């Protein structure tokens, strides 16, 4: 089994263990009559741990005790300890000790593998402790401090709301003033429109009168010319007689 596959199995198993610890912290689970019989992902965890154990041993048999194998061993031990009382259901990893064995010949040296021995049972002093997962990271906080913090936050929110209310009031007042100015300008525009209509009517009337005068002058142009000539003739007669 490849290192990537073993890492994937280890990550999946760790997620299941964390989810298992989280579910165990729920009060509803502790009070449930089926709490003792609920496996909480235990079958899948045992299956993954078995595959991981076999993969680690196979890797060590092929490549020796590499850094990757040692990291996987440590991860396996931590995950097995996270099972708590159910740790006995998962087989532990056995240690491999490789020591050289000297032969009587000075020219040849071979390495022999010692028998695999199980690790000593972990003691309470050396066994790592794991804190159960909880949804409330501040569950032990002082209620008085939390109440003061909530009051302070509420006071700050009230202050922000007061400022917002004042700003909205100012905007409303400015909007009313703008509305009044618009009403005044609307009245002025209406008066201007009325004056323009009256001026247009007067211009139309004057144009009509000019049209009548021009039309009359055009029709009586000959009579006016005769009258003008008669007037000139009379003036000449008066001048010559005197």
For residue range 54-89, list pLDDT tens digits in order: 888 888 888 887 888 888 888 888 888 888 777 788
Q: pLDDT value at position 18?
A: 85
Q: Which residues are within 8 A (CB) of 42 and not within 5 positions of it... i.e. 6 or more apart? A: 20, 86, 89
For residue range 107-145, what is the model confidence (pLDDT) as tens digits?
333 233 333 444 455 555 555 555 555 555 455 556 778
The ranges assigned to domains in the chain are 3-101+109-113, 199-242
Going by pLDDT thresholds of 50, 70 and 90, the confidence category of residue 105 is: very low
Least confidently predicted of 2-16, 113-127, 136-150, 222-236: 113-127
Going by pLDDT thresholds of 50, 70 and 90, the confidence category of residue 42 is: confident
């Amino acid at each position: 089994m490849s290192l990537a596959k073993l890492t994937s199995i280890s990550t999946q198993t760790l997620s299941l263990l964390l989810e298992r610890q989280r579910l165990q912290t729920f009060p509803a689970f502790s009070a449930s009559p089926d709490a003792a019989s609920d496996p909480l992902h235990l079958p899948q965890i045992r299956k993954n741990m078995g595959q991981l154990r076999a993969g680690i041993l196979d890797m060590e048999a092929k490549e020796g005790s590499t850094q990757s194998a040692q990291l996987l061993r440590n991860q396996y031990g931590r995950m097995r300890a996270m099972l708590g009382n159910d740790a006995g259901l998962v087989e532990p990893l056995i240690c491999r000790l490789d020591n050289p064995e000297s032969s009587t010949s000075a020219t040849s040296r071979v390495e022999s593998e010692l028998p695999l021995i199980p690790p000593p049972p972990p003691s309470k002093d050396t066994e790592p402790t794991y804190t159960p997962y909880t949804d409330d990271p501040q569950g032990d906080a002082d209620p008085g401090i939390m109440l003061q913090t909530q009051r302070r936050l509420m006071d700050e929110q009230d202050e922000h709301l007061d400022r917002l209310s004042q700003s909205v009031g100012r905007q409303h007042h400015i909007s009313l003033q703008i509305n009044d100015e618009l009403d005044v300008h609307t009245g002025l525009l209406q008066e201007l429109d009325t004056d323009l209509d009256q001026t247009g009517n007067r211009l139309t009337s004057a144009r009509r009168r000019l049209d009548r005068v021009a039309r009359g002058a055009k029709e009586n142009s000959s009579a006016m010319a005769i009258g003008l000539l008669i007037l000139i003739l009379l003036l000449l007669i008066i001048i010559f007689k005197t």
